[in-house]
Amino acid sequence: MSLGQWLIERDSYNHIKELSFFKQFKKWKFMRMWKKTIKYQNRMKAQNALEDKLFMLQDHFHEHLQKHRKLMIEMSNYRFVDICKKGSGETMTQERFAESQETQRTKVKQQIEDMSDSARSNVKQCIEMVLKELRDRILGEITLDEQRKKNNPT
């Protein structure tokens, strides 16, 4: 590069660096990065708090909670009282209506008991899975400690 070309570029550089944007760039960049870091930290704190509190987001609870919710919604649709609407338009006697309601209550009671057994089984499976995972972690830590002791006896 010739000396004349270099002097022209130096003067251009000095002229550009006097512009307010370039004078404030370091401050602006520092503040922007600081702000970005603070937002990221706050987002991570919120995410961690949600993950701790929302069991639905945790892998080992997700499937069982969905199944339990489905069972409970299904159970809420059961009806103890059946309005026995006949297509023929005939009216039931009180005795026939009482028998029909007793049959309906017995049927719903059995359905609820079956659904309750299913829900209990689902919860039991979830607890067993979590305990198995916990046991595996504990055994893994014990094994790791033993390996560390063998490798570094002091």
Mean pLDDT of 87-96: 74
In this predicted structure, the answer to whether residue 98 has a pLDDT above a threshold of 90 is: no
Mean pLDDT of 8-36: 90
Place of tokens 């059961």: 78
Question: Which of 134, 114, 136 is CA-nearest to residue 126?
Answer: 134
Residue 85: the pLDDT is 61
CA torsion, points 118, 121, 126, 131, in degrees to nearest 10? 180
Check residues 124 and 65 and name the one with the higher pLDDT. 124
Residue 35: the pLDDT is 95
Enclosing H/E stretch for 154: none
pTM exceeding 0.95: no
In this predicted structure, the answer to whether residue 56 has a pLDDT above a threshold of 80 is: no
Q: How far apart are CA 78 and CA 119, in angstroms?
A: 16
Residue 42: the pLDDT is 95
Portion of the chain with pLDDT greater than 90, in percent: 36
Question: Which of 104, 105, 111 is CA-nearest to residue 76?
Answer: 111
Residue 59: the pLDDT is 73
Q: What digits encode the pLDDT tens for the residues 60-83?
A: 787 888 888 898 898 888 887 877
